[in-house]
Amino acid sequence: MPATESCRRVFFAMFALSFAAVAVRGAEPTMTVEVDLRDMPRRLVRTTIDVPCKPGAELALWHPKWIPGTHAPCGANEPVAGLRIAAPDGTVVPWRRDDLDLYRIVCKAPEGVDRLRVSLDTICNEATVEASGHLTFGNDKIGVVNWSTCILYPEGPTAAETLVALSTRLPNGWKHATALKTKSNEGGLIRFEPVSLVDLIDSPLIGGEHLKTTKLDTGPYPPAFFNLVSESPEATELRPETIAKYSRVVREAGALFGSCHYEEFQFLTTLSDELGYLGLEHLASSINGVKERDLIDDQRRTGWIANLIPHEYVHSWCGKYRRPAGMATASFHQPMATRLLWVYEGLTEYLGEVVMVRSGLVSLEDYRKTLAHTIDGLILQAGRGWRPLDDTAVASAFLRSPSPNWNALRRSQDYYMEGALLWMEIDATIREKTAGAKSLDDFCKAFLGGPTKPEKVDPYTFEDVVAALDGVVAHDWKTLLEDRVSKPLDALPVDFVSKLGYRIEYGSTPPPPFRGRRPGAGGAAARHSLGLSFDAEGVVTDVVVGSIAEKAGLAKGRKVVAINDRLFSPDALRDALVASVERGKVDFLLTEGDSLKPLALTYRDGVKNLTLVRDSSKPDVLADILKPHDKSEAKKEEQPKETPKAAAVSPEHPKGYVAHRAPRPIDVDGKLDEEAWAAAPWTDAFVDIEGNRKPRPRFPTKAKMLWDDAYLYIAAKLDEPHVWGTLTEHDSVIFHDNDFEVFLDPDGDNHKYYEIEINALNTEWDLFLPKPYRDGGKAENAWEIPGLKKAVAVQGTLNDPSDEDQGWTVELALPWKAVAEHAGRAVPPHDGDQWRINFSRVEWRHEIAYGKYRKIPKTPEDNWVWSPQGVVDMHRPESWGYLQFSATEPGSPVAFRHDPADATRRRLMQIYHAQNAYKRNNGRWADRLAPLSLPDPPPGQAVPTVALTPDGYEASLTFTPDGGKPQTWAVRQDSLLVPKP
């Protein structure tokens, strides 16, 4: 997911995050873990864990207890089949379990020992309907691995601070899929890039002999991959139109939320009759489990099965990124406060259904039946009269498994479906109050979308939810929510049905079918008439509280042999209800021990099933809610067939600027009052680092450049109503203040480039990078710029919150001598030369406390740039703008010349990113283009070639500029991009 800090910020800042970790390249792992899955077919997993300890001190180790997404302390410590702790020399270290918390293991490290080895054996129990998404289980063909089941972690550091180097061994012949990035795959040992314990437990793995990965068509949104594994290879062969619908799921979610909080997404899906149904959400992946033929058979892909994948995907925004504050805990043994699950799960349930229909997985007509089934299932919940909705959330841990008897009195996890109806009501209310001008989509973009925080989680409170709704349209949302959520209710609120353009009727229409996770009741139902449900044999499976049947003393488990002198069957029940209009009763014959007992129920209202009926006097708001929002399909249909995909080459070229030669040296004082500066053009106004997908910056920024034989001159104007700064020491991490930044790559090969940052106090940080962080580069912070001239002028008062300022200006003179060593070309430049350059402005939101400026806690910074990067990462030199040098004086008419190799360079970088994705998924580089799933090339572009090298690979592409000779460019696995001789 796109981070809110660039990679270099992560590298240098080393934030001590409370909720989610940032993997720091080169940091020493806290733990090393090897999980041996080769015995998974025999239902055993063996794990070896190396953990740090203090010599001679007590060490406490925890089984993960509160697993995100389960909403209960249900970590898997019961199936532990072996636990041994030893010193490096093999000496056994005794351990004991905590008397009060059974998830906690305590031992004492021997003197002189600073690391212990833990051997943990785990039994893979069978999947269960309600709690399998967080377990590890499988058979000889397929498996699901949740790392929380086979790990212990040390007490003390937060989960975000605990860095884990994980490796695993799979059964012979298995392939795998996970959001974890593969570092190497040698000798059957798969090593993953180190991640925090947070990210590890948030990144499950599926594997098997028959695993198929398909790259979805995500349009303008980050890549997503559909991973299917089954005992049967035929089950993974989805039709193109089915894959297209799951591609639309991604695009519809993108259109709904406006932004994504992951770099790429992995749908991890098992298709197995043995493993059955399961589902659990994660930030950059989701676990989904259905029966073997559920996705290849359109008739089976309905109800819960159709909703599963959209629901878990929506959780990436609602539940994983935005999370109730009480559930954003710092460790996996800290209890979670689940009262706001009616938002976490209820809103996700509603939005998952919306995305499901908008993407075409379910038709509007079928969804109306599903909605009727939902209302029908909730309207008879008698427990609503004593237990408010938010208590079903607080009590989720023991309501997760339904009671076998009188569950309607107890209530279930109603925060899911009743919560979904509440959010449907809110959506309808917003549309009603704004005459259709706004909807819950606006709330979703503001509350669940937006920029991503470094912590990868943005906690919220009840008050935050109310405020966000008020931001869409003014209404007494607080009272509405408290009435619906925090108070017992006599009946299910159904007024929203009228706002949708429908009404509830009880008629003879058969009850709507619904395909759920649990085996169906089979037989028949007469819930709204007699108050009974039956299985296929006539056994009573449910009795409605307060119904005729309950008053007659019927209970679950009684068997009805006959109805109106006919043997029990669904048809016999229906005929008896029809006849009741005239007979005024229904006659049952029940078993009682080894005898039979007649029972007559007084009833005369016939067949009575809940249905939704369209009210033609009102607009069909439900249909409007469920209209597709993704426009990419329509745009594709409008294009001629020969038009290439829009994704082939970005329509937005990097920015270009012509820097003129200064007629005389510039006096660097920060004021920009020389005639040369007045004549030099400004760059375009800065935009968000991600480009047009994000709002315009709050304050204008622009820059200009000049040069002479000694210096490259750079000026910038930053409008700012409050100018402040705190850092005064050279080479501080300047972007912790508001700052202005320069990035310079003279020869444009993505390697050996420079960075300069400066704040309003004129404090500067300069560094040199041999290659980008993404390619293993490490910044040389000790590098300095001898002879650098710098100055800042403030238009207002610095660090004075009592007034309003105009902004600040920056002036830099970068000596050519400082960059000559790694420029890779003529310095000073020649007339017409082009270098790669970009500018960034970091702007923090602030508040005033005790007469001083203070950054608002847990609020990400804004990143505004000259030439947009497309992602929140300045260290992608291939996206920087072009600086063209002109020997003419400022004001001379010199046109910028677009780089004729630009399309070729971008195509090679597409290959570079595709190769990285392929290696993460397969543990090796691709030796040909076919498996890389590249977008179509622009018309007339040649076909690239790929060749493996001892270090990785080289991809090459030849083009012929207008009137010129053919040129060949090449990119390597470390993103070095150069023309070949």
Q: Please check the confidence at residue 49 and state whether its pLDDT lies above 80.
A: yes
**pLDDT of 821 higher than 90:** no
Nearest in space to 654 (alpha carbons), one of 906, 429, 947, 416: 906
Environment class of 880 (CB within 10 Å of its CB; exposed 0-12, middle 13-18, buried 19+): buried
Mean pLDDT score, 374-396:
94
Neighbours of 973 (CB within 10 A): 18
Provide the pLDDT for residue 17: 38
pLDDT in tens, 160-187: 999 999 999 999 999 999 999 999 999 8
Does position 4 have pLDDT exceeding 50, yes or no?
A: no
**E strands present in 729-771:** 739-745, 753-759, 764-769
Q: Is 345 helix (H, G, I), strand (E, B) or coil?
A: coil
Question: How big is the CA angle at 774 (ends 772 and 776), to the nearest 5 degrees?
Answer: 75
Angle made by CA atoms 685, 688, 693, in degrees to the nearest 5: 120
Mapped onto helix, strand or coil, the DSSP state of residue 241 is helix
Distance, CA of 404 to CA of 760 (rounded, Å):
67
3-state SS assignment for residue 484: helix
β-sheet bridge partners, residue 756? 742, 766
Of the candidates 293, 261, 260, 22, the one whose C-alpha atom is nearest the C-alpha of residue 159 is 22
Tell which residue, 314, 576, 326, 607, has the closest CA to residue 440.
Answer: 314
The CA dihedral of 387, 392, 394, 396, to the nearest 10 degrees, is 140
Is the separation of the CB atoms in 853 and 846 below 8 Å? Answer: yes
CA distance 23 to 160: 9
How far is 408 from 416, CA to CA, in rounded Å? 15
- CA-based nearest residue to 500, from 430, 453, 438, 554: 430
The angle subtended at Cα 908 by Cα 903 and Cα 909, nearest 5°, is: 95
Q: Which residue has the higher pLDDT, 849 or 515?
A: 849
Are the C-beta atoms of 733 and 897 separated by less than 8 Å?
Answer: no
Q: Are 61 and 69 in contact (CB under 8 A)?
A: no
Of residues 7 and 910, more confidence is placed in: 910
> What's the confidence (pLDDT) of residue 299?
84
CA 974 to CA 661: how far, in whole Å?
A: 35
Structure tokens at 830: 């020649």
Q: In degrees rounded to 5, what are phi and psi of residue 513?
A: -75, 155
Q: Is the dihedral of CA 298, 300, 305, 307 positive or negative?
A: positive
Structure confidence at residue 647 as a pLDDT band (50, 70, 90): very low
pLDDT digits (tens, 9 = 90+) for 255-284: 999 999 999 999 999 999 988 899 999 999
Check residue 12 and give its pLDDT: 33
Longest dimension (CA), the chain: 113
The string of pLDDT tens digits covering residues 743-778 is: 999 999 999 999 999 999 999 999 999 999 999 999
What integer pLDDT is reported at residue 646 of this predicted model?
A: 26
**In the predicted structure, residue 415 carries a pLDDT above the cut 50:** yes
The average pLDDT across 362-380 equals: 93
Mean pLDDT value across the chain: 90
Q: What is the pLDDT of residues 720-751, one digit of tens each?
A: 999 999 999 999 999 999 999 999 999 999 99
pLDDT at position 653 is 73
pLDDT exceeds 80 at position 18: no
User: Among 192-196, 289-293, 419-423, 605-609, which stretch is predicted with the lowest mean pLDDT?
Assistant: 605-609
Closest CA to 145 of 129, 163, 165, 169: 169
Q: Judging by beta carbons within 10 Å of its beta carbon (0-12, 13-18, 19+), is residue 8 exposed, middle or buried?
A: buried
CA 166, 169, 173: angle at the middle one, nearest 5?
140
Find the DSSP H helices in 386-486.
389-394, 396-399, 407-410, 417-433, 440-447, 462-472, 477-485
User: How far is the C-alpha of 764 from the C-alpha of 730, rounded, in Å?
Assistant: 6
Half-sphere exposure of 876 (CA within 13 A, CB side): 19
Instruction: Give per-residue burial for 510-522: e unless 16+ CB within 10 Å, then b.
Output: ebbebbebeeeee
For the segment 49-62, the average pLDDT, to the nearest whole number, is: 97
Radius of gyration of the chain (CA): 32
Share of the chain above pLDDT 90, in %: 77
Phi-psi region of 380 (alpha: psi -120 to 50; beta: other; left: phi over 0): alpha
Which residues is 703 bridged to in the sheet?
716
Question: Strand ranges (DSSP E) for 554-688?
Answer: 560-563, 566-567, 585-592, 595-602, 609-614, 656-661, 687-688
Distance CA 347, CA 317 (A): 11
The average pLDDT across 110-134 equals 83
Identify the pLDDT of residue 966: 92
- Judge if pTM exceeds 0.75: no
Question: Residue 511: pLDDT band by 50, 70, 90 thresholds?
Answer: low
Minimum mean pLDDT range among 74-83, 105-114, 224-233, 948-957 = 74-83
Q: Which residues contact 68 (CB under 8 A, 6 or more apart)?
A: 201, 202, 281, 320, 327
Contact 687, 861 (CB under 8 A): no
929/910 Cα distance (integer angstroms): 11
Q: What is the DSSP letter of 878?
A: G
Query: What is the three-state SS of 68-125?
Result: CCCCCECCCCCCEEEEEEECCCCCECCEEECCCCCCEEEEECCCCCCEEEEEEEEECC
Q: What average pLDDT does range 496-500 have in this prediction?
A: 96
Question: What proportion of the chain, given as a percentage, has pLDDT over 70?
Answer: 93
851-892 pLDDT, tens digit per residue, is: 899 999 888 999 999 999 988 899 999 999 999 999 999 989
Element (H, E) at 808: strand 807-815
Q: Tell me how far apart the terminal alpha carbons of the chain are, to the nearest angstrom.
A: 38
750 conformational bin, left if phi > 0, alpha if psi -120 to 50, beta if neither: left
Residue 633's pLDDT is: 57
SS3 211: strand
Say what the pLDDT of residue 94 is: 98
Q: Say if CB 729 and CB 759 are below 8 A apart.
A: no
Residue 919 confidence (pLDDT):
83
- What's the pLDDT score for residue 640? 37
Query: Between helices 417-433 and 440-447, what is the axis angle to 10°?
Result: 110
Question: Which pLDDT does position 426 carry in this prediction?
Answer: 98
Residue 126 has pLDDT above 70, yes or no: no
Contact 705, 659 (CB under 8 A): yes
